[in-house]
Chains A and B, each alone.
Chain A
Amino acid sequence: MKFGILVNEGPYNHQAADTAYQFAKAAIDKGHEIHRVFFYHDGVNNASKLTEPPADDRNIVNRWSKMAEEHGVDLVVCVAAALRRGIVNENLASGFRISGLGQLVESGIQADRLVTFGD
C-alpha cells in the first residue's frame, strides 16, 4: 500500500516528527511504500541541516535524510511555509526538496492513505 505522510510540527518541540518517523519506518519495514513525506507549518524545520542536537539525543533531521537515501522516500518541504521560517536551499538537509503545496494535494490523490502528524 502507498502512504502519504503530512508532518505539521518541527523537531524536538513536539513528538509529531518522531511519531511520523516511527510510522514511516514501520510501514517500510512491512513492505509498504511511502509515497511522500510532506512538511508543512513548523514541520519545515525538520529539513534544517543547521540542527545540532546533543550527542546523546536522536538526530531527527539526519534520520529523515537517511530514510530518503536508503529507501528513496520523497521528502518535500512546502515553499511558502519554508520561506516564512527561513528554510531555503542553502540550509536544506540532504534528501529534502522544496516545492509547492500542490505536492501535498497530489500525495492525497496518489497515495492510498494520507496520515497527518501534528499538534
Chain B
Amino acid sequence: MAEQDFTRAALEEHLAAGRLMGVRCPSCQGLSAVPRAPCPACRGTDLQWVELSGRGTVVGFTVVHVPPTPLCAAGYGRDNPYAAAVVRLAEGPWITARLVGVDASRPETIRVGMPVRVEFLREGTRTVLAFRPEG
C-alpha cells in the first residue's frame, strides 16, 4: 500500500499532488520532513504521514553561480544564478529546497530568519520543492 511506503517515491507522489507531507512517529512524537522508516530516534515502526503547513523560516541559504550539470542544462549559471535554502518548518523539522521569489542578483536582500511558504516547482517530469518569502 502506497501510504505505508515511507520512501522518496512516496513523498514525490505527495509533492506532485501539491501536498507537503512529513512522517510522524507516534511513540516518540518525532517528526521528519524526509520519509524514513523505522523511526531513527526510537526504532518505532508505527509511523504516519501527516500534512505539514508549508510555512517555515530560512536557517541558511546560498545563491549558486556554479551549478551542477542538470541545473546548467536548465539554463542556470553565472548570468542566471539561483537560490537554495535550508528551511526550518513551522512544525520543527528542517528541509533543503530551492528558494524562489528572491532577487538572486542581490543576495544581501535575502535574510536568515525570513518567513517562507512552500511552493511546488515543475521541472520536467519531477516536482521540485521550493519556498517563497511570505507576504
Are A and B physically bound partners? no
Binding site for B on A (CB under 8 A): none
B residues lining the A interface (CB < 8 Å) = none
